[in-house]
Chain A
Amino acid sequence: RKEVEQDPGPFNVPEGATVAFNCTYSNSASQSFFWYRQDCRKEPKLLMSVYSSGNEDGRFTAQLNRASQYISLLIRDSKLSDSATYLCVVNGGGSYIPTFGRGTSLIVHP
């Protein structure tokens, strides 16, 4: 089992839709979690950190469920510009080595 797993998608949604992605992790000692966005052939860029209490940034909401070992990203009122690949990152155990999921592809259509 991979350390960090994501559904690759693609998730194909109309503009204005709400869409959610999950990311599961295997190391229960993981300490920090992030969501990144990657556009085609570009570098990943930080979207948001994920805090234990959950956090929101505009249309984006991130949550952490330690009991079930997953993090989630909710996007409300999807825009065409949200089309991208969303990567989750987990820093696990004592080494804190950041491990990436393979990413979830989102396509928002008119």
Chain B
Amino acid sequence: DAGITQSPRHKVTETGTPVTLRCHQTENHRYMYWYRQDPGHGLRLIHYSYGVKDTDKGEVSDGYSVSRSKTEDFLLTLESATSSQTSVYFCAISPDRGEKLFFGSGTQLSVL
């Protein structure tokens, strides 16, 4: 299995608080992605990165920011969490664009 770790695995927080999710990889892959998965919507792309300090928005980026200061780490931040951001968040990596994705185990986030 690809070396990809997400933390935390579970998080419960209150509306209006900031939350940061971390994705760490040991594969030295160039591309990293953050997806959220909700019933009826499938996996939707939030943000992705194609290199250190190189990021771009996905389909559902409003309310989220990301940072990638090192190849191995991709952080997803909810500046002020809302109940609509309750979801399962998956990080994925790939060696290059168009290549297969490898996923982390996911983070279950509940915003109360």
| Residues of chain A having any CB pair with chain B under 8 Å | 31-32, 34, 36, 41-46, 49, 87, 89, 91, 95-103
Total A-B residue contacts, Cβ distance less than 8 Å: 49
**A97–B101 CB distance below 8 A:** no
B43 at the interface (CB under 8 A from A): yes
The DSSP consensus for interface residues of chain B is strand
- B98 CB to closest chain A CB, in angstroms? 4
> Chain B: interface residue count, which band?
20 to 34
**Smallest CB separation, B23 vs chain A (Å):** 12
Contact assessment for A45 and B48 in the assembled complex, using a CB-CB cutoff below 8 Å: no
| Proximity string of chain B (33-66) to chain A, C-beta cutoff 8 Å, 1 when within and 0 when not | 1010000111111001000000000100000000
- Can you list, as one digit per residue, whether each of B80-109 has a CB less than 8 Å from chain A (1) or not (0)? 000000001010101001111111111000
Closest to A3 in B: B59
- In the assembled complex, the Cα of A43 lies from the Cα of B89 at a distance in Å of 10
Shortest CB–CB separation between residue A16 and chain B, in angstroms?
Answer: 29
A87 and B43 contact, Cβ closer than 8 Å, known pairs A43-B106, A44-B103, A45-B103: yes
